[in-house]
Structure formats: C-alpha cells, structure tokens
C-alpha cells in the first residue's frame, strides 16, 4: 500500500502557500535558472509530482514536451485549469497530464529529462524512491532533483530559538499537512546519488538568504536585490548548503 503524502483536500491552500508568496516565486525562478542551462532543444520531460503545473508551463513555453504527473487529483485539476487558460499555444499543446504515483510510472524510457522537485521529503521511503527512479531511467538521461534541506531547517530553527524542537529531532506532535514528512540532508542525498551511479553535473542551494532575513518585509520590498544575491552565491560554498531547498542536476 502506498502511504506517501498527497494534497487532495488542501490543493487551494497548497497552491497559495507555495506560489502565492515570495518564497515560492523565488524558488521557482532559481530552479528554472539551474535546470534551463542543462536542457537541449525539444527535450522530452517527465515531471514527477508536478503539482499545479507551474514548472510544466515554463518548460512547455520553451518548446519542450512535458508529461506532468502527480498523485493528487485535486492538484492536477488546478494544473488543468491553469494550463487551459494560457494564451500560449505551446503551453496548451505540449503538456500531457497523468494522475499517477511515482511507483506507478512505467514509461521512463520515453524521456531524456526527469524532474523530481519537492517530492522526496513527502515520501515514506525517499532513498528507495531514488533507487527506483535510477533503475528505470535510460542511460544519458538527466534529472533535476530538489528537496527540503534538513540541515538548513535545523539552522533556521536554531536561529528562531526552537531548541526543544531541535532536541526532539524536529518532530512535531501534530503533523501539519503542508510540512514535509522528512527533510533530507543535502550531503547525504548527493552521496547517495553518486553511490547509485549518477554523475553530478550541478548543485545549488535554493533560498540561501531569503528565509533568514530579520526584516521579512525586505523579502518583498527588496526582492530584486535579494534575487540577484541568491543568483550570485547559491552555487558557492558555504552558502549553497544553507538553501532551504537543495537542487542537484544528475545524469545516469
């Protein structure tokens, strides 16, 4: 039985929380920055856990063919609505939507690009999922992988003074449905990918500064300056390791 977290029943809250804020806007922009530099023209893309279709729309607009999958019917309905309303013909024509759990996808060999953004941290067995993806990808396929960073989460909670929460292993008594099941260590995921046989082509922290700003109004009022700073340092030590999310580009 699949017991991974999905967003049926809270799709509207999910979309607002992720994409209705500067943190969502910044995350999407930085993920695209890194991913786009590794894509060839007219790529065939499998997006795992693609949610409301924001990344799929971006890729389709660039001329790539995208199969958008997600386990949640509610989230995919939002994606269908978003994409059907687009004035960009490429967005309407270049995206196929499928309701599937990761474990149910059977046609990995069709694709030369796999995207798995903000999925692993919601799964019961994230490392097992990584192994499964690797085994089903065809050689010379690249994957963009991003996930909620455990180490940055611990650092942030220390800054906020949540010492009891850290001492308890950062496990809340009551699980909030928009809080990831299990953030992952960037270094451990990177090492695991290499142990599977992946070649790491690129790595970056996503939101290395945004979430730590003392004056949160600056997240909005100084957004352009903040974006420029993130772009300048998010692939550099030590800042990349403080990204609230971590992104890897790997190749089988």
C-alpha 29, offset from chain centre: 12
Whole-model pTM: value is 0.90
Q: What angle do CA 122, 125, 130 make, to 5 degrees?
A: 95
User: Model confidence over 158-200: pLDDT tens digits?
Assistant: 999 999 989 988 876 555 455 677 899 999 999 999 999 999 9
Answer whether residue 106 shows pLDDT above 90.
yes
205 is in an annotated binding site: no
27 is in an annotated binding site: yes
Q: Are strands 245-251 and 142-148 parallel, antiparallel or unpaired?
A: antiparallel
Instruction: Write down the CATH number for the domain with range 11-251.
Output: 3.40.50.150
pLDDT value, residue 232: 98
- Give the β-pairing of 113-117 and 44-48: parallel
Q: Is 50 annotated as a binding residue?
A: yes
**117 annotated among ligand-binding-site residues:** yes
pLDDT on residue 171: 75
The answer to whether the annotation marks 70 as part of a ligand binding site is yes
pLDDT digits (tens, 9 = 90+) for 24-33: 999 999 999 9
Q: Would you state the pLDDT for residue 176?
A: 46
Q: What is the pLDDT of residue 22?
A: 94
Q: What is the mean pLDDT of residues 98-122?
A: 95
State the alpha helices, DSSP H only, in the chain: 11-19, 22-36, 54-61, 73-84, 89-93, 126-136, 150-159, 163-167, 186-196, 218-221, 223-233
- Tell me the percentage of the chain whose pLDDT exceeds 90: 77
Instruction: For the chain, give the percent of residues with pLDDT over 70.
Output: 89
């Amino acid at each position: 039985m699949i017991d991974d977290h999905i967003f049926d029943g809270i799709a509207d809250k999910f979309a607002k929380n992720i994409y209705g804020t500067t943190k969502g806007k910044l995350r999407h922009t930085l993920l695209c920055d890194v991913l786009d530099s590794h894509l060839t023209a007219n790529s065939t893309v499998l997006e795992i856990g693609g949610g409301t279709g924001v990344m799929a729309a971006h890729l389709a607009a660039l001329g790539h063919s995208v199969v958008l999958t997600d386990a949640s019917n509610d989230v995919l309905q939002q994606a269908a609505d978003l994409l059907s309303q687009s004035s960009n013909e490429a967005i309407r024509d270049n995206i196929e939507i499928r309701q599937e759990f990761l474990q149910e996808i059977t046609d990995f060999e069709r694709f030369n690009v796999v995207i798995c953004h903000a999925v692993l941290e919601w799964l019961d067995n994230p490392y097992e999922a990584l192994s499964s993806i690797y085994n089903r990808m065809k050689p010379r396929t690249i994957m963009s992988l991003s996930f909620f960073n455990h180490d940055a989460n611990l650092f942030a909670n220390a800054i906020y003074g949540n010492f009891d929460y850290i001492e308890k292993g950062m496990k809340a008594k009551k699980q909030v449905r928009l809080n990831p099941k299990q953030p992952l260590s960037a270094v451990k995921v990177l090492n695991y990918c290499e142990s599977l046989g992946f070649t790491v082509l690129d790595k970056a922290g996503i939101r290395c500064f945004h979430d730590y700003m003392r004056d949160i109004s600056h997240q909005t009022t100084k957004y352009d300056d903040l974006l420029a700073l993130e772009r300048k340092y998010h692939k550099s030590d030590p800042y990349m390791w403080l990204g609230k999310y971590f992104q890897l580009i790997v190749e089988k």
